[in-house]
A and B are shown apart, each in its own frame.
Chain A
Amino acid sequence: MHLSPDAVVFWQSGFVKLNATIAYTWGLMAVLAIGSKLVTRKLATGLQRSRWQNLLEIIVSGINKQIEEVGMAEPGKYIGFVGTLFLFVATATLFTIVPGYEPPTGSLSTTAALAICVFVAVPLFGIEAGGLREYLKAYLQPTVIMLPFNIISELSRTLALAIRLFGNMMSGTLILAILLTITPFIFPIAMSALGLLTGMVQAYIFSILATVYIAAATQVRKPEPASGEKH
């Protein structure tokens, strides 16, 4: 019994090791990349297109729409990051229906890595949108006194991202494992379905929060439009 797939080590050489988290991540990466490659190899621009292309178009345009709804003017610029967050977390959850599989998002190392990525990406997008000076100025808003609180907020939300996803995913797996020892029939299936649902919800929450953070970082610093044009 282990809390994290980190504990399952296939190979180790000093600091470097190959555990289940990394191995399953590679597996997911391979599935996503090869699947995309296979489907997008023959894309049709006409009105007739394959089912798989339809599916991918629905997913991609859905993500695009979500980013737009948060308030990003150019969703194409952020879909690579936000979309990959969502797809990775969602796929990691989806594969829990495969016996013997453990989601890499059930490892705090993975969720921490994703949170760190968000933590780094938000200021990068912000600086790219408005410049370093403008980005740093945002920490002094509305007054200088708020600087420490802004920094604490930045750190705590990153921590929250990591812990929230990890807790949900790990609990799902753990509950399933525990239930299997108590009631091996039927009930674990219901819990597995519930786990799928929570996994999807967490994927949505994680990516939408990252989008909101990026939107906040990029849009606050944009010059306010003239008051007459406000709606």
Chain B
Amino acid sequence: MLIDWFTVGAQVVNFLILVWLLKRFLYRPILDAIDAREKRIASELADAAARMAEAAAMRDDFDRKSEAFEQQRATLLKQATDAAKAERHRLMDEARQAAEALSAKRMQALNDEVHSLSQAIARRAQHEVFGIARKALTGLASASLEERMVEVFIGRLRDLDGHARENFARALEAASGAALVRSAFDLPPAQQGAVQQALGEIFGQEVHVSFQTAPDLVSGIEVTASGQRVAWSIANYLTSLEKNLGELLKVQSIPEVNAEPELDNSKSATKRL
């Protein structure tokens, strides 16, 4: 008999025990280990994917920020450039204005200087001429310069042409014979009398002369009556000298220095001698 039934039973039991043993020691631990490893790998892959997503998100965020930063930088740079340009223009304008102001000031100062210089030259020239003339006249005659001037003035009065003489005579009449003699110096009583006498002789009427000292006449003498005037002074010579000097200084408009004071009268018959 090939089959031993006790052995069959024993082998069935043995087999069942072996099933239990292998389940306990082989399949369950091995399958658990495989499952754990698969889970771990899956979790690691998921983790890696999450990290990659996170990294991508961070990269995107960074890109966005970088772009925004670039834009901001460009805007700021443009703003700064514009501001610098505007500031430059402003400064240039200011500088130009300041330069113009300075230039105008300098021009003004130059003009003032020229003006004062010409004034000084004129004054100096007056004094020099006066001094020279005085010296010359003193050397030529015993009479003082003033006496000679009065003589010259009287001589010129006598030499007045007919028309001028008539005009002045009318003016004297209109002023009831009152006339004003102005001179740059105090006339001594002898000369005052000579002038009064000469006026009476020339215009054929009694003339009441009042005398006044006016230093601005510059070694001159004038007689005024009712707006009419007859004058002589060395200011004429000074004026020509001044003109020459002015041309020398190339200054177009030099105000007249110590010129005869012009009376604001249309009927004025100024006669320069």
Residues in chain A within 8 A of chain B (CB atoms): 3-4, 6, 15-17, 19, 21-22, 25-26, 28-29, 32-33, 36-37, 40, 43-47, 53, 56-57, 60-61, 64, 76, 79-81, 83-84, 87-88, 104, 107-110, 112-114, 116-117, 166
User: Which one, A29, A57, A76, A110, contacts B17 given CB within 8 A?
Assistant: A29
Contact of A83 among B6, B10, B22 (CB under 8 A): B22
Closest 8 pairs (CB-CB, A-B): A113-B11, A109-B7, A36-B26, A40-B29, A36-B25, A45-B36, A33-B21, A80-B23
**In the complex, B84 has a CB within 8 A of chain A:** no
Least CB distance from B2 to A in Å reads: 4
List of B residues within 8 angstroms of A4 by Cβ:
2
Whether B2 contacts A108 by the Cβ 8 Å rule is yes
Among candidates B4, B15, B22, B36, residue contacting A6 with C-beta atoms closer than 8 Å: B4
Chain B interface residue count, Cβ-Cβ cutoff 8 angstroms: 32
Instruction: Please state if A88 and B15 are interface contacts (CB–CB under 8 Å).
Output: yes
Chain A interface SS verdict (over half): helix
Among candidates B7, B16, B27, B40, residue contacting A107 with C-beta atoms closer than 8 Å: B7
CB-contacts of B1-37 with A (<8 A): 2-12, 14-19, 21-23, 25-27, 29-34, 36-37
Q: Choose one: A3, A21, A61, A84; the contact of B11 (CB below 8 Å).
A: A21
Q: Which residues of B198-250 are within 8 A (CB) of A?
A: none
Classify the interface of chain B: helix, strand, loop or mixed.
helix
Contacts of A104 in B (CB 8 A): 11
Across the interface, A117 reaches (CB within 8 A) one of B12, B21, B33, namely B12
* Given A57-B33, A88-B18, A40 contacting B2 (CB threshold 8 A): no
Distance in angstroms from A35 CB to nearest chain B CB is 9
Asked if B2 contacts A45 (CB within 8 A), the reply is: no
The 10 sampled A-B contact pairs (Cβ below 8 Å) are A6-B4, A16-B6, A19-B4, A25-B11, A33-B25, A43-B30, A60-B30, A80-B22, A113-B8, A116-B12
- CB proximity of B41 to chain A, nearest CB, Å: 8
Q: How far is the CA of A144 from the CA of B8 in the complex (A)?
A: 34
Q: A33, B22: Cβ atoms under 8 Å?
A: yes
- In contact, A60 and B2 (Cβ under 8 angstroms): no
Q: Which residue of A lies closest to B41 (CB)?
A: A47
A56 and B26 form a contact (CB under 8 A) = yes
Q: Shortest CB–CB separation between residue B3 and chain A, in angstroms?
A: 5
Once the chains bind, are B8 and A60 in contact (CB under 8 Å)? no
Q: With contacts A33-B25, A36-B22, A46-B40 known, is A22 near B30, CB below 8 A?
A: no
